Structure 1
Amino acid sequence: MTTRAAVNGIDIAYESFGSPTGRPLLLVMGLGAQLIQWDEEFCELLAEQGHHVVRFDNRDAGLSTHFHDHGVPAMGAAPPYLLDDLADDTAALMDALGWPAAHVVGASMGGMIAQTLAIRHPGRVLTLTSIMSTPGPSVAPPTEAAAAVLMGRPAEGREAVLEQAVRTWSVIGSPGYELDHERIRAMAGLAYDRCFDPAGTARQLAAIMGSGDRTALLAQVKVPALVLHGEADPLIPVAGGRATAAAIPGARLVTYPGMGHDLPRELWPSFVAEITKLTSA
């Protein structure tokens, strides 16, 4: 069941899995992605390992507050908000949940938010897991093909959006694992029906680009940290994961051959095992 919490002056939509007495685990999703991109089965696997799992929509995604009045940011213009604000949203959501601190897992832009949360609110993060992310937008630039997908014109109409999703994941997904076209279409359809706001994605991208590099600040992070990254990621190449792990004292890096910029089902057991090892230490 989706619940909304009033946090940081906006509404954040979230869902939870597992026992409230479990280890608190917050899942932070990436650019333009909704909470449903954390697959229910994946969330249940984490819950089975003793976690109380919460997945949520960042601002400008899904059922959380959208900043429609800001439109699409002009190139070079100041963004309406930064990753700092997204991290503050996350800390405020933890307040609403009654969590003094939590284990935080972020994917892609979610990893950037999780990193920023650990920097800005160090006492709120028990452990940090950064998946297919980077300490800064210029650390590991995307390939030409991946950049074209990222900056491409949004499709119009439900069927066109579903087809565009298949084309996108064909470029940035995991070449070492079979691409499930039907699952991609189904997930894209769910996301479209739940909320379709390309301008919101553009505002999130502006936040990423306007937030600069976190490498030096990550040296302040003292919590146990895990970095998971695909060796075949064209959107945030593996250099981004290596840079993240190098920047955080004591961070453990695990890379996966054949993994691109997605979370292949075949690797879920490994992801869950690695996260659980970190949170239960």
Structure 2
Amino acid sequence: MVERTVGGDGVELCTESFGDPADPPVLLVMGIGASMLWWEEGFCRLLAGGRRFVIRYDHRDTGRSTTYPPGRPGYTGADLVADAARVLDGHGIPAAHVVGVSAGGALAQLLALDDPGRVLSLVLISTSSAVPGDRALPAPAEELMAFLAAAGPGPSDADALVGHLVAYARLLSGGRRPFDEAAVRDLARREVGRARDIAAARNHDALPEGGPTRAPLSSIAVPVLVVHGTADPMFPLPHGEDLAERIPGARLLTLPDAGHGLDRADWPTVVRAVLDHTAAAEDPAGADLTGEDPAGEGPAG
């Protein structure tokens, strides 16, 4: 694991890479308000073990990247999209396979629309369309919406912030599987302790909506894999189904009883799917770029 700060023009983005830079690059884009820690190290190492060069990074206002005064973000959502390309530039990578989760999946879609030459393929996890469509889609679960509407703890109370993050993660898990509170609490502690300014993460909620008119999702020409849990309380399954239907050739992988995000129990399945998907994008003729199965799912193929 190698940490590197990239950027310019007054913006610093903290990144970490795993694996051999000579391998096909995979850029991981986290959802808003969350640092790269939520792409857990074990998951990154599994991907790197499949002969991929994996990069995760902190968005602005998260982790060790540039922060702005709480309530006054000095950037837009379009800047978060451009930051993904900025990370690739910092690593000397012209184009990568882009994997986005939650709002990071929307950022990945917009990168593919705004700067298609930077995207080799897309993997969209627990997300929804970044471009409005005609289909009516279900709203988030009422319990989740009530939690998000309530005032959270202040930034000075680290223990309360950790508890808040754990409670949020529990709701996002969907309630159909066992919840590993100890593991999530450890991750939340590191999230709070590592941040330059944990209060700044809320700036993502203050970013202006809207933006330039973009081409339809049907114009995305790279291979797309949509991964969605059947118990996602943030974006219920029809969001993933709609996304897969609107992008030509997109495939949908459903994760039974999985909530929002990436459960450790699904790592082997998702890693195998990402490796297969990116290998096919690198070599449509079907060559296996992995040579082995780092996720322990048996022979690659």
TM normalised by structure 1 equals 0.90
| 1:188 correspondence with 2:188 | yes
Q: Which secondary structure does the structure 2 equivalent of 1:219 belong to?
A: helix
- Opposite residue 24 of structure 2, the aligned amino acid is R
Closer, same or farther: CA 200–53 of 1 in aligned 2, 3 Å: same
| 1:264 correspondence with 2:285 | no
Partner of 2:37: 36
Q: What is the count of residue pairs matched by the alignment? A: 273
Closer, same or farther: CA 169–251 of 1 in aligned 2, 3 Å: same
Tell me, in whole angstroms, the C-alpha distance in 2 between the residues paired with 1:240 and 1:46: 26
After the TM superposition, which of the residue ranges 142-151 and 220-229 deviates more from structure 2? Answer: 142-151
Displacement, 1:9? 4.2
Q: Which secondary structure does the structure 1 equivalent of 2:216 belong to?
A: helix
Residues 111-163 of structure 1 deviation map (CA, whole Å, 9 limit, x = unaligned)? 11111110101010000011001114885421111112223322231111122
Residues 157-186 of structure 1 deviation map (CA, whole Å, 9 limit, x = unaligned)? 111112222221222214232111111111
| Structure-to-structure mapping, 1:45-194, within 5 angstroms | 45-68=46-69, 71-72=70-71, 80-136=74-130, 139-156=137-154, 157-194=157-194
Closer, same or farther: CA 104–175 of 1 in aligned 2, 3 Å: same
Tell me, in whole angstroms, the C-alpha distance in 1 between the residues paired with 2:93 and 2:203: 29
Unaligned runs of 5+ in 2: 281-301
- Opposite residue 50 of structure 1, the aligned amino acid is R
Closer, same or farther: CA 269–8 of 1 in aligned 2, 3 Å: farther
Displacement, 1:6? 1.9
- Opposite residue 200 of structure 1, the aligned amino acid is A
Tell me, in whole angstroms, the C-alpha distance in 1 between the residues paired with 2:235 and 2:29: 17
Q: Is residue 174–residue 262 contact of structure 1 (8 Å, CA) maintained in 2?
A: no
- Opposite residue 164 of structure 1, the aligned amino acid is H
The percentage of counterpart residues that share the same residue type is: 38
Q: Which secondary structure does the structure 1 equivalent of 2:13 belong to?
A: strand
Closer, same or farther: CA 268–9 of 1 in aligned 2, 3 Å: same
Q: Is residue 12–residue 66 contact of structure 2 (8 Å, CA) maintained in 1?
A: yes
Partner of 2:204: 204
Residues 54-82 of structure 1 deviation map (CA, whole Å, 9 limit, x = unaligned)? 000011111111121xx326xxxxx7533
Unaligned runs of 5+ in 1: 74-78
Tell me, in whole angstroms, the C-alpha distance in 1 between the residues paired with 2:195 and 2:124: 26
Task: Considering fraction of residues, name the structure with more helix.
Answer: 1
- Opposite residue 182 of structure 1, the aligned amino acid is A
Partner of 1:4: 5
Partner of 2:229: 230
Q: Which secondary structure does the structure 2 equivalent of 1:61 belong to?
A: coil
Q: Which secondary structure does the structure 1 equivalent of 2:219 belong to?
A: coil
TM normalised by structure 2 equals 0.84
Closer, same or farther: CA 213–121 of 1 in aligned 2, 3 Å: closer
Closer, same or farther: CA 20–116 of 1 in aligned 2, 3 Å: same
Tell me, in whole angstroms, the C-alpha distance in 1 between the residues paired with 2:268 and 2:180: 18
Q: Which secondary structure does the structure 1 equivalent of 2:253 belong to?
A: strand
Partner of 2:299: none
